Chains A and B, each alone.
Chain A
């Protein structure tokens, strides 16, 4: 695929992450501020709260979207940094292939976990 296209996907993934990770950060890490305003839960990593959230379709779907876009955005960004080392073309191809494989495997594992807990 053309590099310019991959770069545009990187930007689009960034925009998607901005929205989803924004929500994620507010729920998980600015929880005390949110809770004092009367939103969210007091302890968002409490197992009861976590498992209840995992059973909601909205969260299951957004977990998978966030997982995929974040993996793409992060690994493509990492690849871009490594490409600046101007390695031999063979090494560059190996790095691209290796990072793609890692991304696919991690996506499969994370998706399995999200669907498994949702169905359980």
Chain B
């Protein structure tokens, strides 16, 4: 048991979480996926309590919603939307690659060759473009059309 724990030792500490090192773009996508995931989780836990407040009736609900009308909450809400758009689109990419699609067939690493990470990179780029479009539309809705 002791050997197993030694084997699992985290030598890099926090830097191991944040630094991409030689792993490249996908490693940062992974870090951002986690940060946005944690942000959404925190919001979601508060969201459960806020939306469940409707058990106390319409007046209480309106009071709760009035609280969230302040610009700082509106900006926070938009940040959650941005996090959602990123997390969802990157999540679709992860789903596709997790199931083994978009990475090409296994092959011998005879130079010149393309590794699986490079083969799936167009997926990352397309996912990020769609996420960006969603974020722009969300911004339009939150700040221009929604008023």
Binding site for B on A (CB under 8 A): 11, 14-15, 18, 21-22, 25, 29-33, 36, 45, 47-48, 50-51, 54, 67, 70-71, 74-75, 77-78, 81, 84-86, 89, 106, 109-110, 112-113, 116-117
Contacts and interface: CB of A to CB of B under 8 A. Distances in A.
Interface stretch (B18-26, B34-42, B106-114, B117-125): B34-42
22 contacts: A18-B88, A18-B91, A18-B92, A29-B141, A31-B146, A32-B145, A33-B145, A36-B145, A50-B54, A70-B44, A71-B44, A74-B40, A74-B44, A84-B10, A85-B10, A86-B8, A86-B10, A89-B5, A112-B52, A112-B55, A116-B55, A117-B54
A25 B61 CA distance: 20
Q: Give the 6 A-B CB pairs with smallest separation, nearest first.
A: A32-B145, A113-B52, A74-B41, A47-B58, A32-B146, A32-B141
B88 to A, nearest CB: 6
Q: Is the interface of B mostly helix, strand, loop or mixed?
A: helix
A113 B37 contact: no
A14 B95 contact: yes
B45 A106 contact: yes
Contact of B84 (A11, A21, A75, A106): A21
A11 B95 contact: yes
B37 A77 contact: yes
A50 B50 CA distance: 13
A22 B28 CA distance: 24
Contact of B81 (A29, A33, A47, A86): A29
B84 A110 contact: no
Given A33-B141, A86-B9, 15 more contacts: A29-B141, A29-B142, A30-B141, A45-B65, A47-B62, A47-B65, A48-B58, A51-B58, A77-B34, A77-B37, A78-B38, A84-B17, A86-B5, A110-B51, A113-B52
* Chain A, interface SS category: helix
B140 interface: yes
A47 B48 contact: no
Contacts of B137: 30, 33
